Structures are given as C-alpha cells and as structure tokens.
Structure 1
C-alpha cells in the first residue's frame, strides 16, 4: 500500500507527464503551422521536444515500475511453470544490472559534459 506522500508524488509525476506530452505536441504543432504557413518558426522547438521526451520517459518508467506494468517477455516462464520464480529473479536481476549500468555510464557522461562546458545549440542550456 502506498503512503500518502507516495500517492501525492505519483499524482505529481502523472501531472508532469500530462504537461510534458501536451506542451510538446502544442509547441511542435505551432512550429509546423508557423513554418508552412508563415515561413518562420522557433529555433528551440526541436530541443525542447527532445528534452521533454527524455524527462517524460524517466517519469513514465517510474510510474510503470510503481504500478508493476513494465513490458515483459514471459514465454520462457510460461513454458516452465516450476522455474517461474527463478526466471523472475533472473529477469529482475538483469533489470537491476542494466539500471546500475545506466546510472554509472550516465554519471560518467554527465561529468564529461560538465567538464567540457558544452551547451545546447538552440536554447544554450548546459549539457
């Protein structure tokens, strides 16, 4: 059972997911209209949509893990009813390993980007 804080955090995450989806679609649609009708547009739209999508993925994965709705391939555990627990442990262990690998490599890449002082092209945000 989720505590009140976890429920509130989950609602905030869901609201942010909604805002990110709606704002990305609205900004990209507006840019398409500006580009094809008025022959102008905003420079930052592509970067905004990309960064919003990255944040959206992390928030959505968090929600999927909380609700136990991750995509799973369960043909092997279904074939071997007795070893279901073993396959579940292997699957969870592999997921944990990949998560740790993502964190470690992400931290190394972030430190590299920070030390080189790179900024994004259009919005000039620190990379």
Structure 2
C-alpha cells in the first residue's frame, strides 16, 4: 500500500516538475526571441523580457535541484568512495541525511524570507510581480527535495 502511494506521489511530482520546467523555459525562450527580433528589426527592446528570464532562471534552478536529487545527479565528491569502496553505503546514507538537513533549512529560511516579502508587499520593478511569488519557490523546493531524498533513501534500502 505504501509503495503504491510513493509511486503515485513520484509520478505526480515528476509530471509537475517536468511540465513546470518545460513551460517556464519555453516562455523565457519565446520572450528572448521576441526581444532579440524586435531589437534587430525595429531597434526596440522589451524591458520585461529580461526580468522574466531572470525569474525563470531562479525557478528552473530550484526545480532542477529537486529533479537532480530524484535522478541522483547532484554534484558529489567521490574520492573517499573510490579509495574505500566499502564505505559507499555509509557515505551515501550520510549524504542523504545532510540533504534532508539542507531541505529542512530551505523550508525554514525560505518560509521566513517568503513571509518577509509577504509582510513588506514588495514587487518586481518592471512586471510588478509580488516578490512573495518569486521567493515562495524556496520552501516549495525544500519540500520537494525532502520528499525526493526520502524516496532515494527508500530506493537505496531496497
């Protein structure tokens, strides 16, 4: 029962992550293409395009971290594992625990930063997007990384 729940959760999160990444990157590419075309053809530039791309880079970096945890492609230094192959399970477990701690820190401090933006009601300069929307990616990604790390730890135990 629990295995089916984790599998459905994994499928749902994977779809959400992949489609969100796809949609925001396509939006950024289209706005950049339009900006370059307008700049070259009409000597006119879209000010909001650069701000949108900046936001997309932030979102894709954070969501990409969750995908990287799921796929096991986070950056690692494996010199100790290569010198002492028997320590690989212990070091992997240790790295996963550190990742859980990092995810908890992202949730806690991300929430604090998001709450601060909510209280001050700040907005981006050009597009007037509330900064709370941009900062909210931190605690959301923290939760996603926490869930993904738990999934990886369960897979490692099997």
* CA RMSD, Structure 1 to Structure 2 (Å): 2.1
5+ long unaligned stretches in structure 2: 132-158
Runs of 4+ in 1 over 4 A off after TM superposition: none
Aligned ranges 1:1-127 → 2 under 5 Å: 3-4=7-8, 6-127=10-131
Q: Which has the higher helix share?
A: 2
- Distance in 2, Cα, partners of 1:112 & 1:4: 34
Deviation for aligned residue 1:122: 0.6
Note the alpha carbon deviations across 1:61-120, whole angstroms, 9 max, x for none.
222222333232212112112222222122122222222222222111111111112111
5+ long unaligned stretches in structure 1: none
* TM norm structure 1: 0.82
* Matched position secondary structure for 1:70: coil
Higher RCO, 1 or 2 (CA under 8 Å, sep at least 6)?
A: 2
